């Protein structure tokens, strides 16, 4: 699958680099000084690279954790994001990563110990609950056999019971979790869309049926599950069927999963910074999904306000049949300050947090991809 490995000179001898190389013995190895030389190069073609992405092994140098805006979370006051990887195995038509990055190559930051130190430092401040969301610029589990991410981070959270780790995924890559004793403070959160939309828009993502089977296995083993119906999508091809498609999805999910296994359920609508959306349109000029019905609002491309409200309302009503109110979260900038707080890190298909102005200015577009000169490009 991966036949080229770029490796920053600084991590050539890192144990995780050696482990990745051992798993990809045939890959050509090209040393580089900084991953930005490859990743941020001008005149790259995301779509062409997506057909055969290389893997870049790099060292994350700073901003290991990013604070979430106050309105986002699962009830804790302190919420953070982190990205051990940039880019994703899958190819969702609506994914903001294509609009944000020039390159489709995967970047894996191998210095997990620095992320862990930052988490421990935060966790050690006091006993207040702190939530840490992974899978912001990638899928948390899809490349687990290569990254060993779960294996490396679970022991840390076992020692930090007042903290919560969310693993956000669309994959069925659960072997590493099944090998471990379940952690009550690690939520395996699955992003789900109706199966016809998955087939049409989420290329490479396993069918709903296979993910439900994976979720059932995790539930049987005692892992808490998160259900992320985010982003909600209104495909023009199924325009009249929005409520039916989501009702079918909810019925399929809640008839299979034991209520006790469900940690939290969240809803969020599709939105994207306008400049990322323009990039997406350039990449897929003929795609019917990208034709709308969207509008521009405060620098964002989003569904028209009335439609967005209707989508959220429809799903909220449908979900109330299955989910107690204290487990249901609405992820929308409109709910900031409302009693029902939105949920944690969005799937990269729903980059609601990306442009959300943080008063401290600490969450910035492209924050995962630090370039050589420290600017975000």
Contact positions vs ligand SF4 (CB under 6 A): 88, 90-92, 95, 97, 139, 170, 202, 347-349
3-state secondary structure of 190: strand
Return the number of the residue (66 or 183) whose C-beta is nearest ligand SF4: 66
Return the number of the residue (97 or 265) whose C-beta is nearest ligand SF4: 97
Cβ-count burial 157-196 (b if 16+ within 10 Å, e if not): beebeebbbbbbbbbbbbebbeeeeebebbbbbbbbbbbb
Phi and psi for 191 in degrees, rounded to 5? -85, 125
- Provide the terminal-to-terminal Cα distance of the chain, rounded to the nearest Å: 28
Return the number of the residue (11 or 146) whose C-beta is nearest ligand SF4: 146
Nearest-approach distance from CB 274 to ligand SF4, in angstroms: 18
Nearest-approach distance from CB 100 to ligand SF4, in angstroms: 10
Return the number of the residue (143 or 160) whose C-beta is nearest ligand SF4: 143
3-state secondary structure of 299: coil
Return the number of the residue (46 or 90) whose C-beta is nearest ligand SF4: 90
Return the number of the residue (123 or 363) whose C-beta is nearest ligand SF4: 363
Nearest-approach distance from CB 92 to ligand SF4, in angstroms: 3
Return the number of the residue (17 or 229) whose C-beta is nearest ligand SF4: 229
Return the number of the residue (88 or 123) whose C-beta is nearest ligand SF4: 88
Nearest-approach distance from CB 16 to ligand SF4, in angstroms: 21
Which residues have CB under 8 Å from 85's CB, separation 6+? 106, 107, 108, 109, 137, 138, 143, 147, 149
The string of DSSP letters for 102-145 reads S--SEEEE--HHHHHHHHHHHHTS-SS-EEEEE-SSS-SSTTHH
| DSSP structure class, residue 249 | H
3-state secondary structure of 354: coil
Nearest-approach distance from CB 326 to ligand SF4, in angstroms: 27
Nearest-approach distance from CB 101 to ligand SF4, in angstroms: 11
Q: How far apart are CA 206 and CA 174, in angstroms?
A: 13
Beta pairing class for 78-82 and 66-67: antiparallel
* Contact between residue 197 and residue 229 where contact means Cβ atoms under 8 Å apart: no
CA separation, residue 144 to residues 22, 177, 274, 330, 344 (Å): 15, 10, 32, 29, 21
Return the number of the residue (203 or 375) whose C-beta is nearest ligand SF4: 203
Nearest-approach distance from CB 221 to ligand SF4, in angstroms: 23
Nearest-approach distance from CB 49 to ligand SF4, in angstroms: 14
Q: How far apart are CA 365 and CA 352, in angstroms?
A: 11
Q: How far apart are CA 206 and CA 202, in angstroms?
A: 9
Nearest-approach distance from CB 118 to ligand SF4, in angstroms: 22
Q: How far apart are CA 201 and CA 93, in angstroms?
A: 5
């Amino acid at each position: 699958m991966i036949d080229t490995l770029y490796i920053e000179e600084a991590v050539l001898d890192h144990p995780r680099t050696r482990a990745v190389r051992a798993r990809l013995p045939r890959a050509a190895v090209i040393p580089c000084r900084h991953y930005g030389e490859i990743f941020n190069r001008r005149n790259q073609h995301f779509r062409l690279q997506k057909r055969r992405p290389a893997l870049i092994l790099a060292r994350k140098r700073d901003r290991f954790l990013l604070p979430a805006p106050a309105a986002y979370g699962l009830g804790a006051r302190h919420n953070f994001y982190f990205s051990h990887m940039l880019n994703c195995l899958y190819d969702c038509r609506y994914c903001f990563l294509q609009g944000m990055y020039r390159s489709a190559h995967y970047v894996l930051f191998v210095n997990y110990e620095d992320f862990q130190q930052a988490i421990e430092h935060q966790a050690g401040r006091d006993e207040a609950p702190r939530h840490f969301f992974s899978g912001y610029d990638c899928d948390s589990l899809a490349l687990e056999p290569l990254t060993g991410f779960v294996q490396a981070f679970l022991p840390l959270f076992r020692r930090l019971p007042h903290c919560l780790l969310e693993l956000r995924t669309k994959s069925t890559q659960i072997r590493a979790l099944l090998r471990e004793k379940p952690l009550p403070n690690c939520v395996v959160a699955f992003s789900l869309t109706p199966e016809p939309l998955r087939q049409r828009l989420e290329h490479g993502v396993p069918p709903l049926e296979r993910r439900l089977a994976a979720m059932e296995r995790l539930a049987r083993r005692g892992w808490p599950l998160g259900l992320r119906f985010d982003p909600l999508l209104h495909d023009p091809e199924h325009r009249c069927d929005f409520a039916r498609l989501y009702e079918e999805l909810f019925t399929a999910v809640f008839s299979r999963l034991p209520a006790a296994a469900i940690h939290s359920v969240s809803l969020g609508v599709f939105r994207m910074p306008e400049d990322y959306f323009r990039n997406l349109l350039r990449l897929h000029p003929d795609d019917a999904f990208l034709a709308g019905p969207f509008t521009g609002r405060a620098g964002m491309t989003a569904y028209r306000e009335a439609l967005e409200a209707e989508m959220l309302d429809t799903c909220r009503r449908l979900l109330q049949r299955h989910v107690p109110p204290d487990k249901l979260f609405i992820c929308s900038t409109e709910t900031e300050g409302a009693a029902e707080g939105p949920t944690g890190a969005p799937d990269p298909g729903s980059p609601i947090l990306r442009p959300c102005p943080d008063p401290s200015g600490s969450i910035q577009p492209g924050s995962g991809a630090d370039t050589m000169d420290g600017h975000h490009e």
